[in-house]
Structure 1
Amino acid sequence: MSTHEPVRRASSPSGRATEEPPASARRGRTALLALAAGAAAGAMLLATQTGAGAAVQGSLAGSTQFYKDPASQVVKWVAANPNDSRTQVISKRVASQPQGIWFANYRPDTVTSDVRAITTAAAGAGQVPVLVVYEIPNRDCGGASAGGAPDLASYDAWVTKFAAGLGSGPSLIVLEPDSIALTTCLSAQQQTDRFASLSRAGATIHAAAPNAKVYLDGGHSTWNSAATQADRLRSAGILANANGFFTNVSNFNTTGGEVGYSKSVLSALGNPGNLHAVIDTSRNGNGPAGGGAWCDPAGRSIGNYPTAATGDAAIDAYLWVKPPGEADGCAAAAGTFSPDVAYQLAANASDPSTPPTATPTVTPTVTPTATVTPTTTPTATATPTATATSQPPTGTSACSVAYRANSWTGGFTADVTVKNTGTAPISGWTLKWTYGGDQKVTGFWNAKITQSGAAVTATDLGYNGSLAAGASTGFGFQGSYSAANPVPTTFTLNGAACSAV
């Protein structure tokens, strides 16, 4: 079974989907090559910085190269869609970059071989893999990403098998996102037991793989205060059994803000010289969306490209822990790759040849004082900033619309498919309908949506504005209501009536 788990942390009510096993070429390296390259990469990772750069370098050598997974979802999409208008940008700015590989399905019988497949391939390439462990029992406090090992004893045993696949080469382990910052569902004893298990996990990994670096959950800059997070990290064994902590996983907070927060946490821990932070910069280039929108919000951008050359002694690396383009559950099914999301993140960013600068200067003494909604279960949404649309629409004489809503008390999402059932092509489209209730659109993707009273207008985003005869396209949105959520049955596309299907 594959270890390439789609990252379904934010929105899915079920477990992560699986993918096809890694290509056999990943396991085809000779042992000699793997050992030699692994030793070289280990020396690179653990090298002590000397000279002028020593004061501003974390514990990783700045020249460390992180593993680029040839079987990631984005790499597969690029290979399968060479003629797509979005491919060049996605390939250059997303698929070319190393990203976290998630272990989120509880498969104790295969986890050792799954891990070994990654570490062997990484060693053969002279690169350092970033492995994300997401198996703690009651992860996400039973929310959108519920799952994991059945109990802590099973988790301990699973970690032992995970560690057995790491080998002697270098690796970075992102150990259990949200497991320390999010404990609201746990009693005091359950929290104590979890933290003890995390501490054992760090010790187990280090014993089996001395060149592995383990980072514990540091939350993010707009969640717990630095003092609170430091106390929890201390209880989870960070001083003895970890190399530091990670922040901002799957979130949008700016790199500068996270650096300042990380330094405040380190200060609250007593500034131990052996601890550093890593920051997820996979989609924080434009910061958070307005109003706290979290589910595939529009207008976001990839941030700092993955690197160990952070220019900051407190920060070991900027990483893409959440693979850019893997949906939260609004633009597409949670954990699946969405080219629309990836393209927007990439199009709003610079090329890798001119990556964002290392770190803005931030005063690290101010820390948040209020606990806010965590990474995985935000509640507030807002209408995202829309991207540019195409030229004024022309051409349609026949169309059909499929409107599928998924409702819960007070809220809903809707997926809409528009099909050109005529014989002439459509160049640019505008779809209109009127609600029969008090529904309000609060966020959208793959279209620009405006609303005036009950009247709603959805317009293409340019790249999806051309529909040949028989072709279709889809978009979606999130909304709210108070009394009822009737499905609209009358639609017009470019002024022509469409049949509802």
Structure 2
Amino acid sequence: MSSSPSPHSRTRRRLVPVVAGSAAAIVAAGAVWFTTGVASAGTLSGALYRDPDTAAARWVAANPNDSRAAVIRDKIVSQPSAHWVSSFNVGTVQADVSAYVGAAESAGQIPALVVYGITNRDCGGASAGGAPDLATYQTWIGNIAKGLGSQTVIVALEPDSIALQTCLSASDLSARNQALHSATRTLKAANPNTKVYLDAGHSTWNSAGEQANRLAAAGVADADGFFTNVSNFNPTSGEAAYGRSISSALAGQGIANKHQIIDTSRNGGASGDWCGDDNTDRRIGQYPTTATNDSNVDAYLWVKPPGEADGCKYAAGSFQPDLAYSLANGAPNPPTTPPTTAPTTPPTTAPTTPPTTAPTTPPTTAPTTPPTTAPTSPPGDNQGACQASYQVTSSWQGGFQAQVTVTAGNSSIGSWTVSWTLPSGQSITQSWSTTLTTSGAAVTARNATWNGSLAAHGSTQFGFIANGGSSSVPALTCS
């Protein structure tokens, strides 16, 4: 977390999620609506993409009888929010981005990505991590660019990277500005329909003149504009006024027509202390839309997904239903514009996103190394009923996230069960795409209702979060 007077709350976020059938079914069953419409201002028009497998959607799917579920479903899960690309993995990020953007394009909607992996991000705060160096960062950006497709994509590039500079030397700052400028050009060259916005902090942080100077130094001339209020609570009117002042200051430097995006995910209530982990006065703000009625504002986005923690009381980025319910309860209902698309079929793969609830030991850094993967069923001709392999997808001090792939043998199967033994001191705090039980150290994971039937050699995945013990690969049995 930053020591700046009025910082954002930062969040570690996830790579591209896969549609969870149970979550999609919950959304389809509820009274959910989208803010679509044609933009009446700005340079963007069209419906924003709603990912059916957000952390909030998975929680609602897993807790349909919870008293908070309907409110969270109808006022949060129903709405599009930005998708964070923040787990630093050069080898997988292109496929991850391509899958997410492709899903949005198939739905005829606009995806919004938050790219968050620059070296020394968050100045070592609650969401420290990112690329080990700027050369590797540019490789990562290049792979992201390859996954952007050809249709309109919104990219919020590196929250805090320009407004928060207190930890950078003069040479580090110069290198960061060059890296942001290069990243902007790389993203737009790969897909000319990509709309890139740079970090402008928020209206109670740096002055508009100072922020304009910083944006100019970081290459905003080649971007489409800037974003403000990410993870913060300042009123939309104040942010819009701040944005106009920044645009005016940029125009004074010969950098004209730079538009704004405002994060409205948590600014519908009181202001005050920046950290929202235990503030019950906050409410969701303007529902996401490109129809802003403000010629300087291209979109109101939920950049910080409502219900995800700031890192003060809970692990940064973890979904907390109490926070989501507090934000949504008492907030106005969404506009009653029916959805343009409906959830489709259940997935054959498990979500690869972070937990829907916080680990009991909060992560102190985001993972910066590729996942450790090892098959735990012996290789061969896959003659058995099924086999299982185990992959650690991210880890932190005191815990980790893992994914298990179940593969059918030479014949189709109608159900599967995977079992293993926990190492000493380890416990599983959460799972998805499976019915998982533990008895002492023995773990039994059975298929969910939608992913038990597999064709010959077909596969599916499930995941879990574990605390304590070793993250070494255990021996799995699949039957």
TM class, shorter-length: 0.5 to 0.7
User: Which of 91, 100, 103 is the equivalent residue of 1:109?
Assistant: 91
User: Which of 90, 97, 100 is the equivalent residue of 2:82?
Assistant: 100
Deviation, structure 1 residue 18? 5.9
Whether 1:127 aligns to 2:109 is: yes
Are the structure 2 counterparts of residues 86 and 308 from structure 1 closer, same or farther at C-alpha, using a change threshold of 3 Å?
A: same
What is the CA RMSD across the aligned residues, in angstroms? 2.5
Whether 1:279 aligns to 2:262 is: yes
- Percent sequence identity over matched residues? 53
Q: 2:18: which partner in 1?
A: 22
Quick check: 2:157–2:196 contact (8 Å CA) kept in 1?
Answer: yes
Question: What do residues 396-434 of structure 1 show as CA deviations (whole Å, max 9, x unaligned)?
Answer: xxxxxxxx999xxxxxxxxxxxxxxxxxxxxxxxxxxxx
Q: State the alpha-carbon separation in 2 of the partners of residues 334 and 235 from structure 1.
A: 30
Are the structure 2 counterparts of residues 94 and 266 from structure 1 closer, same or farther at C-alpha, using a change threshold of 3 Å?
A: same
Q: 1:210: which partner in 2?
A: 192
Quick check: 2:97–2:148 contact (8 Å CA) kept in 1?
Answer: yes
Q: 1:245: which partner in 2?
A: 226
User: Which of 320, 327, 331 is the equivalent residue of 1:338?
Assistant: 320
Q: 1:262: which partner in 2?
A: 243
TM-score normalised to the size of structure 2?
0.63
Question: What do residues 122-163 of structure 1 show as CA deviations (whole Å, max 9, x unaligned)?
Answer: 011001111000001001111221100011111111100000
Whether 1:154 aligns to 2:136 is: yes
Whether 1:59 aligns to 2:40 is: no
Whether 1:353 aligns to 2:348 is: no
Which one has more relative contact order, counting CA pairs under 8 Å at least 6 apart?
Answer: 2
Whether 1:222 aligns to 2:204 is: yes
Q: State the alpha-carbon separation in 2 of the partners of residues 246 and 264 from structure 1.
A: 13
Are the structure 2 counterparts of residues 261 and 334 from structure 1 closer, same or farther at C-alpha, using a change threshold of 3 Å?
A: same
SS of the equivalent of 1:269 reads helix
Quick check: 1:278–1:318 contact (8 Å CA) kept in 2?
Answer: yes
Quick check: 1:105–1:148 contact (8 Å CA) kept in 2?
Answer: yes
Deviation, structure 1 residue 330? 4.4
Letter in 2 for 1:102: W
Are the structure 2 counterparts of residues 18 and 199 from structure 1 closer, same or farther at C-alpha, using a change threshold of 3 Å?
A: closer
Quick check: 2:121–2:160 contact (8 Å CA) kept in 1?
Answer: yes
Quick check: 1:331–1:341 contact (8 Å CA) kept in 2?
Answer: no
Q: State the alpha-carbon separation in 2 of the partners of residues 90 and 75 from structure 1.
A: 9
Q: 1:298: which partner in 2?
A: 280
Q: State the alpha-carbon separation in 2 of the partners of residues 162 and 20 from structure 1.
A: 12
Q: State the alpha-carbon separation in 2 of the partners of residues 125 and 219 from structure 1.
A: 32
Question: What do residues 71-128 of structure 1 show as CA deviations (whole Å, max 9, x unaligned)?
Answer: 1101111111111111111111000000011011111000000000101100110011
Q: 2:303: which partner in 1?
A: 321
User: Which of 228, 231, 235 is the equivalent residue of 2:213?
Assistant: 231
Q: 1:82: which partner in 2?
A: 64
Deviation, structure 1 residue 275? 1.3
Letter in 1 for 2:42: G
Question: What do residues 316-368 of structure 1 show as CA deviations (whole Å, max 9, x unaligned)?
Answer: 0000000000112345332111111101100131000279xxxxxxxxxxxxx
User: Alignment length, in residue pairs?
Assistant: 317
Deviation, structure 1 residue 11? 6.9
Query: Structure 2: which 5+ residue stretches go unaligned?
Result: 1-7, 22-35, 338-359, 363-479
| Superposed counterparts of 1:432-451, under 5 Å | none
Are the structure 2 counterparts of residues 328 and 111 from structure 1 closer, same or farther at C-alpha, using a change threshold of 3 Å?
A: same
Q: State the alpha-carbon separation in 1 of the partners of residues 297 and 13 from structure 2.
A: 32
Q: 1:185: which partner in 2?
A: 167
SS of the equivalent of 1:107 reads coil
The structure that has the greater radius of gyration is 1
Are the structure 2 counterparts of residues 187 and 93 from structure 1 closer, same or farther at C-alpha, using a change threshold of 3 Å?
A: same
Quick check: 2:51–2:81 contact (8 Å CA) kept in 1?
Answer: yes
Q: 1:361: which partner in 2?
A: none
| Superposed counterparts of 1:474-485, under 5 Å | none
SS of the equivalent of 2:251 reads coil
Query: Structure 1: which 5+ residue stretches go unaligned?
Result: 1-8, 26-43, 356-403, 407-501
Quick check: 2:10–2:122 contact (8 Å CA) kept in 1?
Answer: no
Question: What do residues 376-399 of structure 1 show as CA deviations (whole Å, max 9, x unaligned)?
Answer: xxxxxxxxxxxxxxxxxxxxxxxx
Letter in 2 for 1:276: H
After the TM superposition, which parts of structure 1 deviate over 2 Å for at least 4 consecutive aligned residues? 9-12, 16-21, 271-274, 291-296, 329-334
Quick check: 2:209–2:249 contact (8 Å CA) kept in 1?
Answer: yes
Quick check: 2:15–2:86 contact (8 Å CA) kept in 1?
Answer: no
